[in-house]
Amino acid sequence: MAGMTKSALLAALAEKTGLSKKDVGAFLESLSDMAYKEVKKSGMFVLPGFGKMVKVHRPARMGRNPATGEQIKIAAKTVAKFRLAKAAKEAVL
């Protein structure tokens, strides 16, 4: 199941909005840069109707090496997650 490529997305958005592919590409680049900076700074970035990207602290835990079965300690770390908005879930499902 192949998804839409970046160039196909840019072409479709350019056609729908009447903007050039270059302008649409610059907008998407700016949006992603803004999202990354905001998540890093405040821990959350909301895109209304689509979802929100959040920074989550994952505590240390014990895991298992699948090759040997040996128990290993997995260190705590901070990860980024994307939570889909309810409206987006309902539209897709």
- CATH homologous superfamily, domain 44-93: IHF-like DNA-binding proteins (4.10.520.10)
The number of CA neighbours under 13 Å toward the Cβ of 36 is: 6
3-state secondary structure of 42: helix
Asked if residues 55 and 40 have their Cβ atoms less than 8 Å apart, the reply is: yes
pLDDT tens for 36-74 read 999 999 999 999 999 999 999 999 999 999 999 999 999
**pTM assigned to the model:** 0.77
pLDDT score recorded for residue 24: 96
CB within 8 A of 46, min separation 6: which ones? 52
Instruction: Please compute the mean of the pLDDT values over residues 85-93 and round it to a whole number.
Output: 93
Residue 2, pLDDT above cutoff 90: no
